[in-house]
A = this chain, B = another copy of it.
Amino acid sequence: MMLDLVQVQGFVAVAEELHFGRAARRLNLTPSPLSRQVQALEHALGTPLLDRSSRSVRLTPAGQAFLGEARRLLDGARNAERVARQVARGEAGPVRLGYTAASALGVLPRLVAAIRSEMPGIDLVLEEMVTAEQVEALAARRLDLGLLRPLAPDLAPEVEGVRIAFACLARERLLLALPDDHPLCRRGHVSLRELDGQPFITWSPRGGTYFLGLLANIFRSAGVAPRAVQRVNQTHTMLALVREGIGLALVPESARALRTEGVVLLPLRPETDQRAELLLGWREGDNHPALARLRDLALTQQVLSDQQT
């Protein structure tokens, strides 16, 4: 019913040596069981593979054709074994990584580059999702890792009994984005007080829940209340609207990577301790073989990231 690879291996050895004795020695066997192996294989295939007289062994046409298939088969078996071992050791295999649109500006490209160079066997599958989607996808095992923002503190990091663990990868200041011809632009920094009543572009609830909270904290602690004039989903849209003079915005420092012409990013005065955190998330207790190494790699990346910002 199913080919026996031991028999196939025996046949290949005999076909290569054209001599049962030598082939048997190569396989640490006596000629007797080897002969029976080949016979059993021939019986299973319903056709002779070897033409043997007591003085010579030759391949039949069927044997010649089968030899090629057999070698491929044995190579395939060895390869399958290797693949399983490598994936188990975390040296290879697919890893599904979720990321938020904003993380694509700073951390993601560096992380991907580091993985490609340090763990070349890993086959990264990237999927852009907002934080909530990532948490759900992690729990449902549709993702192995996520680059995401902190959940609201009242949301338990647990979905259907699966706990999600987090580690902080980067803490970014928020910068004020304003058109380069804006009056506040003269000095190199802007006081929070001056933002009161200013038109502001903020985040839409979809995707920007975390930033909405962050902005609210900053404004509340400074006692100012800008006017929200527009809600958007993505940082680059936000900067584009700023450039058009629609309003001001607070964006994470990694937005510098967008290098938007006509928009200036200034630090706030006084400094606030509010930081936009970017987290790495994974299933707690996940036995994904590459996970530990990937996490170490990501944390190394975090240091680099801090040095560069």
The stretch that binds B, out of A82-90, A199-207, A276-284, is: A82-90
Query: Chain A contact residues (Cβ within 8 angstroms of B): what range?
Result: 35 or more
The smallest C-beta distance from A238 to any residue of chain B, in angstroms, reads 38
A 1-38 binary contact with B (CB < 8 Å = 1; else 0): 01111101100000000000000000000000000000
Q: Please measure, in the bound complex, the distance between the C-alpha atom of A32 and the C-alpha atom of B35, giving whole angstroms.
A: 33
Q: A3-B5, A9-B2, A289-B62 are in contact. Are A80 and B73 (CB under 8 A)?
A: yes
Contacts of A46 in B (CB 8 A): 85, 88
The smallest C-beta distance from A123 to any residue of chain B, in angstroms, reads 10
- Kindly report how many copies of this chain are found in the complex they form together: 2
Residues of A within 8 A of B (CB): 2-6, 8-9, 44-49, 51, 60-66, 69-70, 72-74, 76-77, 79-81, 83-85, 87-88, 92-94, 287-290
Q: Can you spell out 26 A-B residue pairs with CB atoms less than 8 angstroms apart?
A: A2-B5, A2-B6, A2-B74, A3-B81, A4-B6, A45-B85, A47-B84, A48-B88, A49-B84, A51-B287, A61-B87, A61-B288, A61-B290, A62-B84, A62-B85, A64-B87, A65-B83, A65-B87, A66-B83, A66-B84, A69-B79, A69-B83, A70-B80, A72-B76, A73-B76, A76-B76
